[in-house]
Structures are given as C-alpha cells and as structure tokens.
Amino acid sequence: MLAGLPKEKKKQLDLQEANNYECLKGGRVLTCEGRNESSEFSDIMAAFKVLNFTEKEISDILCLLSSILHLGNIKFKSGGSSHSDTSEIADQGLNEKISKLLCVNKSDLSEALVKKTIYASGDQVVANLSKEQASDSRNAFVKGIYGQLFIFIVDKINMAISQTKGRGRGSIGVLDIFGFENFTMNSFEQLCINYANESLQQFFIQHIFKMEQEYYTKEGINWSNISFIDNQGVLDLLAVKPLNVFALIDEESKFPNGTDFSMLNKMHKQHGGHNSYLKPKSDLTPSFGIQHFAGDVFYDTPGFLEKNRDSFSQDLKNLVLSSKNDLLKDIFKVEQDAKMKKTLSSQFRTSLDMLMRTLNACHPFFVRCIKPNEYKKPQMFDRALCTRQLRYSGMMETAKIRQAGYPIRYSYIEFVDRFRYLAKAIPTSAKGDCRNSAEKICIAALEGDSDYQFGNTKVFLKHSDNEKLEELRRDILDRYIKVLQKAIRGWICRRRYLRLRAAAIIVQKHYRARGYRSRYLVMRNGFQRLQSSIISNQLRVAFKNIRNNVIKLQALSKGYLERKNGQMGRIVSIIRQRKSDEEELKSHGIKNYRSEATKLMQARLAEVNKEYAERLRKMEEENERARKVIDKEFDFLDSTSLLNNRINDTVSISPTENNIPGIPDDQNKDVDSLDLQEYTFRKFAATYFISSLNYQHQRKPLKDALLQLPTPDDVLASQALYITIMRFMGDYPETKEAASDMDRTPVMSKVSQTIGRSFVNRKEYQDLMKQEKKMLTMKKSDRQRLISMTLKRKTKLLEDVRRGLVEDSHAADTYKEWTNKRTGTLEKLHFVIGHGILRAELRDEIYAIICKQLTGNHIKASYARGWILLTLCVGCFPPSERMINYLKAFIRTGPPGYAPYCEEKLNRTIQNGARTQPPTWLELIAAKNKESISLQVSLTDGTEQTLSVDSASTSEEMLKHLATSLNLKDTFGFSLFIALCDKVMSLGSEKDNVMDAISQCEQYTKEQGHHEKNSPWSIFVRKEIFTPWHDPSFDPIATRLIYRQIVRGLKNGEYRCRAEADVASLVAVQYYVDNGPKMQKGVLQSRLGEYMPSYLV
C-alpha cells in the first residue's frame, strides 16, 4: 500500500515511508528482493474491482489499514497522578489523526486506550491502565481490527466466486498457521500456538498412518507390526482431560485475586507427576515445561492471566459502535452481555475444535514450507535452521512411520530388471513371470531371516535387505565390467600397435628417400636462383631502357614547350616571323618593307617584354604578400626594440654560413647522393597509418592516432598534439577560455609530469618489458611459450586499460584541460616538441601529423607556419629509422627557402642526437628568418667572441670553434658556463647542447613572471680543471686567460690564499706583469688597492 498509493491519496491518509511505522519494523526487512510492490498493489486494486468491492469499501479498507499503521506508532507516558499507576497518550496529534481515520471522537479513543471499565455486581468501575497495560490494549485493538477486516475480505471473495445457491456447495480451504515455536522467553502466545501444532501433528500422523495402512491392505501384505509415537498424552495434558492446563488458566483468570504464581502452584500440584509435564529445578522459578513432539519447551508464567483475559475491552467495543465508519461497525459483532465474556484460551480452543472437525471432514493435502535462511536472500542455506524446521514440522515422525514399515518398494518389472544378475536363469522382465523371478532372486540372494514381502504389484523391502541386494549387484557388475575392460583395452592396444607399425614403415620409407630428395631440392633451389637472377637482370635492363627513353622524351617535350611558350622561345619565333613579314610586305609592293617588318618585330618584342615584366611584377607581389602574411603571423617576433638589449649583449642574427661548428664539409654531398624518389609521404601513409585516413591536409580533429602507438595514454597525447598543431598553423579555432595568468609553470614541466604518470611507467607494463628483455637469453622453445603468455597478459592488460580497471584519469584530465584553454605560440611549440623529446614513441606521430597538414595545404599562412614548426621539430629530435628517408624526401619537396635549411638541421640533429629541452625564443626567430644564430661568448680577459651556432650545437663544438678563432692550443680544462642572475650552470666541454641550457634559462624566467625573450642569461668560458704540468710558454693565449681568471678570482674572493706570503707573491706578479721589472713605490701604492683581495682590504 505504501509503495503503490498515489501521492494525493497518501497525503489524504497522512501516510509516509515504510520505515516510519513500528508495525512494519518487526521483521527488520522492509523490502523483498525481486518483487515490485507497486505493481502488486495495482493488481490488488484491480482484483478488488473484479470481486465487486465498491469504491467506498475500498476506501474504508485503506482507512482502516492506515489507522492500524498509525496506532502502532502511539506511545504512552506516565500520567500526572502520583498515587496510582496511570498513563496517557504522548502524542495527541497522532491521536487526533487516528480518530479522523476511524471516524470516532478523539477523547473517546484516548479514554478507551488508557482506561478500562470493569463490570461487577451490576456496577461499573473505571480503572486506569499502566503504560504496559495500555500498550497491550492498543495491540489488542490493532489485532482485532486487522483480524475482522481479514474475515470480511475472505467472506466477500467467497460471495463473489460462488456460482451455486443453497448450502450444498463445495469449497477448498487453505490452512496456514505458525510453526512450532521455542524461544528463550516463551509466554501464553507460544503455549496456544504449540497446542495448535500438537493437534495438527496428531491429525497429520493419523492421516499418514491411515494412508500406510490402506496401501499395505491394498497390496495384501501383513502390516500389524508397524508402530509409531502418539502425542495424545500431550493433548490430554493441555486441553482434553479435566483440570487440564488451559482449564486451570481459565479458572485462575476468573478469580479476582488470582495471580500467575498461584496458577503455577496449582499446575505443579495437579500435573507434577505427568510424563509430559516438566517442573523447573527451583520452585521459585516462575515457569513450567511441556514435552512436545518437537522438543521440551518451558513457558514463563508472568502475564499469563492478564493475556488470557480478553484485552479487547468493552470500552473498545463501545468505541467501535460509536464510529461513523460503516465498515468498522460491520466487521465487529459486539456481545451485549459482558457476563458472557470468554477468555482467550476458551475462544482459541473453540476455534481449534471447529478447525479439527473441518479437517476430519476433508481430504487433506500437506505442504511443508522450509525457510532456507532468516535474511530472505537467495543461494543461502542455513543447515541448523532447516533441521530445526523439519523437526518442528513433524517430518521426523513421518519418516519413522515409513521406516517402521517397508520403505523400499520396487515394482516387479523394476526389481527383475535391476537384480536379475543375482540369480541364475532369470529372464528379462519382458519374457518371463516377473513375480516368480523376483521370488527366485530374493531366495538366492537374501538369507532366510530377512524381512521382505511380496505384494500384488510390488516387492517390499527393509533398508538392510535393499543394501545387501545393492552390494551383491555392485560386486557382480564390477566383475563383469572388468572382463569387458580387459577385452576392450586389449583391442585398443592392438589397434594402437598396428597404427604404430604402419607409421614406422612410413617413417622408414621417407627416411630412406631423404638423400635423393635433399639432392633434388639443392638442384631445384639452384636452378630457381639462377632463373630469378636472369629474369631480374632482364627486367632491370628493360626498365633502364624504358626509363632512359622516358627521360629523353621528357627532355624533348620540356624543350619544345619551353621553346614554344617560354620567353626566349617567343623571342626566337618573333625574329623568325620577321623574314616572313618582309616577304609578305615585299609581295604587296611596299618599298620599305624591311623597315616595316622591323617595326612589327620591335612592336611584338615590346609586347612580349611587357607581358614578361607584368609576370615578374605579379610574382614579386605574390612573394611580398606571402612575406607579409608570415610577418603578420609572427609579428610578436619583430619587435626589435624588445630585443635590442639581447642583440647587443648576447646574440646577433647573421646569414647562414658554412662556419657552424660540427658540420662536415662533405655532409651535404653524401645526403644529396641518396636517392629518395621512392620514399614518398603517400607511400608512408599507406604503409603505416592504422586506418584508411587521408594523408592530406584537413581542418577537423582526429578521433584516433595516425600510427600504431603502444599505450592508450599515447593515443590521448596524439589527439591533443593534433589539435595543438592545427591551432599553431591556424587551421583550428582557439578556445574562448582565456589562459590563467597565475599559472607560471613551464609547459615542459607539465608535459614531463603527465608522461611520468603514464601507462608505460606503471608496474604492470614494466614487468612485461622485463619479460621481453629476458626472452632474448632464453631457448627457442621456452621463448615461444613465454611469448604466448606475455602476449596474453599484454592483451588482457590493454583490455583492462580500455575498460578503466588499470588506467587512472590523470592523462585524460590533463590533455582535456590543455585543449580547452587558450595558449600562446611558444607554449604550443613547447607542448608539441616537449612530447617528441620526452616520449620517443610519439616522434613519428608528430612528424606524420605535420606532414599530413602540409600535404595539399593551399592556405599560405598555414603552410608557412607548418614549415616553421617542422624546422623547429627537426632541430630538436630525429624521427625513427623507418621514417628518416620519408621525412628527408618530404623536406626536399618543400619550398626553396625552407627545404635546404630544414634538411641541414635534420642532419645535424641525427648527428648529435635528440635534445632535452624545447626550442628557445632565439631559435624561433632564426627559423622564421631561415638563418643561423650568433652567440657572444665572454672570455676571462674581458673580451668577447661571436660564434655561429644552430639548434644541435654542443659545448664541445663551440669550444673547438672558439679555439680555432683564438688560435688556442691547450684547450684542456676549459668549459662553457651559462649565468642567469645569481645562478651559474656548467655546460662542460663535451656533448651538452648549448640551446638546451638557454631554454632552461628562459623557462626559469617564465616561472619568475617575466617573458622568455627578456631572460638575462650570458655565456662565458672559464678554466675548470687546472693541471700541475701546464707549460706557460707552450700556449701564451691559454696562459693569459688562466692568469686573468685567477687574478679576478683572487680579487673577488673566489680563490683564497692560506698564507699572507702567497698573497704578497701574487700581488708582486701582478705588478710585474702590468709595470715591468722596475719598482716604483708611488705606482705600487696607487695600485695596491686594485691588486689586494677584497676580503683583506
């Protein structure tokens, strides 16, 4: 009802959720799994209408059920009177709500619940009820309403489904009662319930025994020795014999001064010697026991008399009579005479007697319901609970009755078919007399004292006889089966032997023929190789001839087209036209035909020159327009005023020269000699793209990666890289969300953190990689087995990642946040190139995306920015081996301004390896202008040297270039250093990339809140390792640089002397170097402050 009623109806009845009502919490479970209570309530409402319930009756039923729920929530508190045990309703609002539902006066309802009218000798005495008594009265009222309402509904259903008139109609009754109860505290209710179960058990046992008797009589066998346990003595003790237990309870209930203890004494005195009556060990214990069929139960007597007296008082009956609810008055038939009032035990026995008479007049069918657990859950079996229910339901006695007779029963056909092997000459059941055969079997197999009988249709056996027959049958079948197994195994072994012999003959035949075949195969393979070599030479010669012919044809065609349509071709045709014009003018009689023909030639030449000049002008305008587009896209780099300090202090841009350190002179020759015509990007896309994606430019993001990537995080990175590259080229709009100025974290740090938490760094993936490395040192068989296991684990791991079992959401959240915010040009560069630097598996993916966006791209601004991005990428990391030739071939097809510059940077990166940091601001300027970078390096003597570098230049190359320009011979111990504010970092003299150090300085500047282009870094050379075997005369330049470094270090406190004599010696050396061997005290005193260390002055 609470689940199916509409909200309006629930509001009308003041109903809430089920957990708000005490009446529904007794079972501790408010819902039942697998049931739709709302749908079931709708079915009940529909059934009411089908069974001719009126709308008013349905409404009254719902009102009464709602009042029962509210009555269960009524609480009582102690009254205000101090000299008597009184009570009153705690919640008067709830009392008023119930009175409206029952259509009674609220004060009458309150009085009927907390007070009781006693009729004695014609007088009426109103007694107050305690809280406990008031609760019992409330419970009796609730039970009375619910019970009478149940009877009303059943009668109404019977009236609706009955189709016959009169009293001779048949009926089907369903009896559902409580099972046997035995709790820790058993009271009057358990006594009544267990008495009813004793009566039903007696009826059940008699019915089963009667069925057994009828079955044995029908089969014509002797059954006189069958006995069973009868519980008639317990029934006599409880309610049949005079002065039984219920009679003593009723008798004591009628005495005004009767108590539970006096009733207990009478029971002990009257029934203490009865076999089924149990007395407690102590007379002070207020309880007595009954030996029921299901076990011994002790009942606590406190409250017996009060419960036996009818709790449904006359006040409640009068309250029902005063109700304006017609249904409530109709379901109660109030006894007018209070003296004819009966106790509950007498009412219960009368009802039970009527039930037993009804059962004796019917043909009963018994359904024993066993509850598997107390929690109403499926697939849960409580063994102790089920055993207890079987014992309480009387199934043990039923089994004993069956066991006392002949529990094993076979039809003659079944008996002969099953046990005919136990005797000799017993035919099958279809051929002989089955009864005669059964008798022969029993005589042959069973002993003379065995208890078995032959009925009309069946053989009746005891358990022991049946087990003996089964054992004999099992032994015989075991013996026969062994004989069959022996024959079958022999046949199987012989068949296997014959097959092995035939196989051995075949193996011998092939083994003997191996020599002939091996020689034949050698000869065949030799002839096949010879054939393939001859055919390939023929095809190669034919291809070269065709290619040469095509090249000659192309040359002739191009020459013809150039002569016909080119500038020089038109001029030659005009000059040749002059002769034909002279002849034509001469034929027309014109005297100065030569001058006229010359004028015509000059006019035509002027027109051609005009067209050629116009074409050159348009080409120049087109080039200028392209330069303006590029300058507009990169106008943030053209602010020379912002870079004046940097150019003057540390860097200057110069045209590309051949003096970049580390580039061999013959490198370009080797590269140009490589034939890359067959390595087209279209071929690469068709070979390595994982799906049938277009290899040309597009302006929509992809849903998957272009190439096969090892992890799902790489696929997410590829999607974010594609969007970032399109935004850098201007092919995809920027998001409307502006970037936060508070976030100063370098993009490289974010990328490093995201990749550091990626899938390849997890334990599962690392374990798989270790196993793959371990396979290299294993045998072939073990390797194949481990490869199979590893592939299964890897496949399962990737499936788990796709389902989300292993993958965390850090990478997905990071890339989603990146693509949803607006970023700068340099940030986009750092994001794309940072992934290529930190994640080698993504390098080919990045190059594939850039080449795809440049292929077939007719947007000039996008095309220019794409080539700048490609130039910066090839200067930071190389592609994989499979893509090097394809990328070189693609670069050679690029614009003339970028193709050689970009290919030179790629070769330099392949030579020196990938970098560790993204490109700098200076590299972006150089890429835009297609120039190299000039850096100013400070020396220890205060001078500066300008060096030309590129993206791949290392500190070793710069030191070699510097040594060449300075004619420095002894370079051991000299290193490059870069300084930023108060921080100094050594670049060493080996393979450390110089531009990586500058990039770190720019990123640090960004963290401090400044722009990268304003980073105040500087590069200088210092002696880092001093050697005791240094010869000053060998290299004066190195000696001078070392001397100036030590002098400055001594002055600034970088170097300290342990003794003052050392300081004096160094000061003397400085004076000697600056002023010569002549000592002048004035000069020494004036310059002593310059020579002395600062910490001593």
Residues 930 and 872: their CA atoms lie apart, in Å, by: 11
Question: Are 866 and 722 in a shared domain?
Answer: yes
Whether 926 maps to a domain, the answer reads no
* 66, 69, 325, 329 from 101: Cα distances, Å: 8, 11, 9, 13
Q: Which residues pair with 947 in a beta bridge?
A: 935
Question: Are 37 and 78 in a shared domain?
Answer: yes
Question: Are 318 and 386 in a shared domain?
Answer: no
> What pLDDT, on a 0 to 100 scale, did the predictor assign at position 164?
61
Question: Are 326 and 339 in a shared domain?
Answer: no
Residues 274 and 232: their CA atoms lie apart, in Å, by: 13
Alpha helices, DSSP H, located in 243-322: 245-254, 260-271, 304-308, 314-321
Q: Which residue has the higher pLDDT, 214 or 250?
A: 250
What's the whole-number mean pLDDT along residues 892-917?
87
- Residue 494, pLDDT > 90, answer yes
Task: Write the secondary structure of 809-833 as one string of H (helix), E (strand) and C (coil).
Answer: CHHHHHHHHHHCCCCCHHHHHHHHH
19-75 per-position pLDDT tens digit: 888 888 776 777 777 788 888 889 998 998 888 888 888 888 888 888 888 888 888
Q: Which residue has the higher pLDDT, 256 or 967?
A: 967
> What pLDDT, on a 0 to 100 scale, did the predictor assign at position 217?
82
Burial 859-875 (b: 16+ CB within 10 A, else e): eebbbbbbbbbbbbbbb
Question: Are 672 and 707 in a shared domain?
Answer: yes
- Report the candidate in 439, 440, 413, 407 with the shortest Cα–Cα distance to residue 425: 440
> What pLDDT, on a 0 to 100 scale, did the predictor assign at position 122?
59
CATH number at residue 712: 1.25.40.530
- Residue 105, pLDDT > 90, answer no
934: phi then psi, degrees, rounded to nearest 5:
-110, 125
Q: Which residue has the higher pLDDT, 224 or 735?
A: 735
Question: Using 50, 70 and 90 to split pLDDT, how confident is the model at 541?
Answer: very high
> What pLDDT, on a 0 to 100 scale, did the predictor assign at position 1088?
73
- Residue 391, pLDDT > 70, answer yes
Collect contacts of 267-272 with beta carbons under 8 A, ≥24 apart.
270/243, 271/237, 271/245
- Residue 638, pLDDT > 50, answer no
Q: Report helix angle 881-892 to 899-912, nearest 10.
A: 160
DSSP conformation class of 993: B
Question: Are 327 and 264 in a shared domain?
Answer: no
CATH number at residue 84: 1.20.120.720
Question: Using 50, 70 and 90 to split pLDDT, how confident is the model at 498?
Answer: very high
- Report the candidate in 493, 120, 75 with the shortest Cα–Cα distance to residue 341: 120
CATH number at residue 347: 1.20.58.530
> What pLDDT, on a 0 to 100 scale, did the predictor assign at position 803?
43
Whether 287 maps to a domain, the answer reads yes
Element (H, E) at 181: none
Residues 381 and 378: their CA atoms lie apart, in Å, by: 8
Mean pLDDT of the chain: 80
Residues 108 and 314: their CA atoms lie apart, in Å, by: 13
Q: Which residues pair with 116 in a beta bridge?
A: 127
Alpha carbon 901 to chain centroid, angstroms: 50
DSSP conformation class of 117: E
Question: Are 115 and 198 in a shared domain?
Answer: no
> What pLDDT, on a 0 to 100 scale, did the predictor assign at position 768?
57
> How many Cβ atoms are within 10 Å of 1016's Cβ, its own excluded?
14
> What pLDDT, on a 0 to 100 scale, did the predictor assign at position 553?
94
- Residue 162, pLDDT > 80, answer no
Question: Using 50, 70 and 90 to split pLDDT, how confident is the model at 84?
Answer: low
475: phi then psi, degrees, rounded to nearest 5:
-65, -45
Question: Are 151 and 20 in a shared domain?
Answer: yes
Are residues 316 and 140 in contact, defined by beta-carbon separation less than 8 angstroms? yes
> What pLDDT, on a 0 to 100 scale, did the predictor assign at position 740?
57
| Residue 1016: both structure tokens together | 């105040």
Residues 438 and 469: their CA atoms lie apart, in Å, by: 12
DSSP conformation class of 977: E
Whether 773 maps to a domain, the answer reads no
Burial 691-705 (b: 16+ CB within 10 A, else e): eeeebebbeeebeeb
- Residue 1090, pLDDT > 60, answer yes
> How many Cβ atoms are within 10 Å of 730's Cβ, its own excluded?
16
- Residue 650, pLDDT > 50, answer no
Whether 244 maps to a domain, the answer reads yes
Domain count of the chain?
A: 4
Identify the top-confidence range among 19-23, 789-793, 1008-1012.
Answer: 19-23
Sign of the Cα pseudo-torsion (322, 328, 333, 335, in order): negative
Domain that holds residue 67: 7-163+312-334
Residue positions counted in the chain: 1097
Question: Are 711 and 855 in a shared domain?
Answer: yes
Of 564, 596, 627, the residue at which a domain comes to its end is: 564
Question: Are 224 and 101 in a shared domain?
Answer: no
CA 514-520-522 angle, 5° bins: 100
Are residues 454 and 445 in contact, defined by beta-carbon separation less than 8 angstroms? no
- Residue 531, pLDDT > 50, answer yes
- Report the candidate in 264, 308, 267 with the shortest Cα–Cα distance to residue 285: 264
Residues 661 and 663: their CA atoms lie apart, in Å, by: 6
| Residue 955: both structure tokens together | 């500190």
* 487, 799, 852 from 496: Cα distances, Å: 14, 46, 65
> What pLDDT, on a 0 to 100 scale, did the predictor assign at position 500?
96
Question: Using 50, 70 and 90 to split pLDDT, how confident is the model at 784?
Answer: low
> What pLDDT, on a 0 to 100 scale, did the predictor assign at position 878?
93
- Residue 502, pLDDT > 60, answer yes
Question: Using 50, 70 and 90 to split pLDDT, how confident is the model at 647?
Answer: very low
Of 855, 883, 910, the residue at which a domain comes to its end is: 910
Whether 696 maps to a domain, the answer reads yes
- Residue 966, pLDDT > 60, answer yes
Q: Which residue has the higher pLDDT, 189 or 808?
A: 189
Element (H, E) at 107: helix 106-114
> What pLDDT, on a 0 to 100 scale, did the predictor assign at position 135?
83
Question: Are 672 and 714 in a shared domain?
Answer: yes
Of 869, 886, 910, the residue at which a domain comes to its end is: 910
CA 411-414-417 angle, 5° bins: 145
* 500, 501, 714 from 491: Cα distances, Å: 14, 15, 63
Q: Report the percentage of the chain scoring pLDDT > 70.
A: 85
- Residue 751, pLDDT > 50, answer yes
Q: What is the largest CA-CA distance in the chain?
A: 174
424: phi then psi, degrees, rounded to nearest 5:
-90, 150
Residues 102 and 95: their CA atoms lie apart, in Å, by: 11
Element (H, E) at 529: helix 514-565
Q: In sequence order, which residues have a C-beta less than 8 Å from that of residue 36 and are 6 or more positions away?
A: none
Q: Which residue has the higher pLDDT, 27 or 386?
A: 386
> What pLDDT, on a 0 to 100 scale, did the predictor assign at position 873?
92
> What pLDDT, on a 0 to 100 scale, did the predictor assign at position 642?
33
Question: Using 50, 70 and 90 to split pLDDT, how confident is the model at 1056?
Answer: confident
What's the whole-number mean pLDDT along residues 306-324?
76
* 571, 604, 619, 696 from 562: Cα distances, Å: 12, 18, 19, 32
851-880 per-position pLDDT tens digit: 999 998 888 888 888 988 998 899 899 999
1071-1088 per-position pLDDT tens digit: 787 777 777 777 777 777
Question: Using 50, 70 and 90 to split pLDDT, how confident is the model at 460?
Answer: confident
Whether 113 maps to a domain, the answer reads yes
- Residue 375, pLDDT > 90, answer no
Q: Which residue has the higher pLDDT, 380 or 176?
A: 380
686-698 per-position pLDDT tens digit: 888 887 788 889 8
- Residue 259, pLDDT > 70, answer yes
> What pLDDT, on a 0 to 100 scale, did the predictor assign at position 652?
36
Whether 792 maps to a domain, the answer reads no
Burial 589-604 (b: 16+ CB within 10 A, else e): eeeebeeebeebbeeb
Are residues 248 and 263 in contact, defined by beta-carbon separation less than 8 angstroms? yes
Alpha carbon 253 to chain centroid, angstroms: 69
Query: Of the ranges 181-185, 461-465, 607-611, 1024-1028, which one carries the lowest mean pLDDT score?
Result: 1024-1028
Question: Are 318 and 350 in a shared domain?
Answer: no
Q: Which residue has the higher pLDDT, 518 or 926?
A: 518
The HSE-up count of residue 166 (CA atoms within 13 Å, CB side) is 4
Classify residue 416 by burial, with Cβ atoms within 10 Å: 0-12, 13-18, 19+.
Answer: buried
Whether 238 maps to a domain, the answer reads yes
Query: Of the ranges 356-370, 408-422, 677-691, which one carries the lowest mean pLDDT score?
Result: 356-370
Are residues 399 and 424 in contact, defined by beta-carbon separation less than 8 angstroms? no
Q: Is 1019 helix (H, G, I), strand (E, B) or coil?
A: strand
Query: Of the ranges 227-231, 348-352, 424-428, which one carries the lowest mean pLDDT score?
Result: 227-231
> How many Cβ atoms are within 10 Å of 5's Cβ, its own excluded?
18
